[in-house]
Amino acid sequence: MTQDEIRFEAGPGGLQRAVISTTAAEAELYLQGAHLVRWTPREERPVLFLSSKSLFAEGKAIRGGVPIIFPWFGARAEGLPGPAHGFARTSEWTVESARECGDAGVEVVLGLQSDEASRELFDGDFRLRFRVMIGGELEMELEVSNESGVPFRFEEALHTYLAVGDVRQASLTGLEGTEFVDKTDDFKRKKQGGEGLRIVKETDQVHLNTRGACSVWDPVWNRRITVEKTGSDSTVIWNPWIEKSRGMADMELDGWTRMVCVETANAADNAVVLAPGSSHKMAARIHVERH
């Protein structure tokens, strides 16, 4: 492995990160949360949004990039204790491997194992493995293994923040006709219409039972970003819009105009029940087309 391909170093807040530079792309991956904060194909604008006011501190979530959500999505159900979106995104992961894969790019695998702290919040022994391939396309895969003697139920997401020129002009396709839970309207269940999804207000929708790809057409930057996925039955679309953003200390004032989350997930009705000794894989592949 040549030095210029991948470099491990201390980043802001002293957080360990991998800085990756290949012929096809540049990227930055933090060990805390196995959090990819940057992926930029050559000759392209950054594809992931990262808030300039994001925290980079031990145990704090990073605002932007791809937070890994596990073992629950959103607020913990039934009033049980635990941080929003689970603990995987604020836990320190370990490097399992890092290697060059020729034209495909550079692959990094990070792992997280259950421990005393996780057992206090989640009743199940698990092993997580996050594999990311940095190239002209971005491939991400989250594998969950049940290492306990009993089945456990979990939710998960690759909570991807995509960067756009102006979200008010963007349109999302691939969710037409799907059922969704509208978290901005008392979790009411609704059906997505036949036309593309436009972001015209605070949007927080969990689309259920959908395995299709979702594309974001961005007329300002003249590009289409497509998120294809496997092993995922939910797609979450989120934009905090004006008011919610004002309440987020780690989001710059107009940051909401430059991002939309298209999240590859298994949440709510699509939560996974994993048998002892079994594993489940969820993957996303992101690519950009210029127009």
Note the residues at the interface with ligand TA6 (CB under 6 A). Answer: 61, 74, 84-85, 159, 183, 204, 236, 238, 261, 263
Give how far Cα 57 sits from Cα of 12, 61, 62, Å. 8, 8, 8
Q: Which is closer to ligand TA6, CB of 21 or CB of 178?
A: 178
CA-nearest of 93, 77, 105, 114 to 8 is 93
Give the residue at shortest CB distance from ligand TA6: 238
Dihedral of CA atoms 91, 73, 137, 28 in degrees, nearest 10, equals -30
Peptide bond into 71 cis (omega under 30): yes
Q: Which is closer to ligand TA6, CB of 109 or CB of 206?
A: 206
Q: Which is closer to ligand TA6, CB of 22 or CB of 203?
A: 203
Residues carrying an active site annotation: 159, 263
Which residues neighbour 92 within 8 Å (Cβ) at sequence distance 6 or greater? 16, 31, 32
Cα Rg of the chain, angstroms: 18
Q: What is the largest CA-CA distance in the chain?
A: 53
* Closest separation in Å from C-beta 63 to ligand TA6: 7
* Closest separation in Å from C-beta 233 to ligand TA6: 16
* Closest separation in Å from C-beta 74 to ligand TA6: 5
Q: Which is closer to ligand TA6, CB of 147 or CB of 202?
A: 202
Q: Which is closer to ligand TA6, CB of 41 or CB of 67?
A: 67
Which residues neighbour 1 within 8 Å (Cβ) at sequence distance 6 or greater? 98, 99, 100
* Closest separation in Å from C-beta 274 to ligand TA6: 22
* Closest separation in Å from C-beta 22 to ligand TA6: 29
b/e string for 149-173 if b means 16 or more Cβ within 10 A? eeebebbbbbbbbbbbbebeebebb
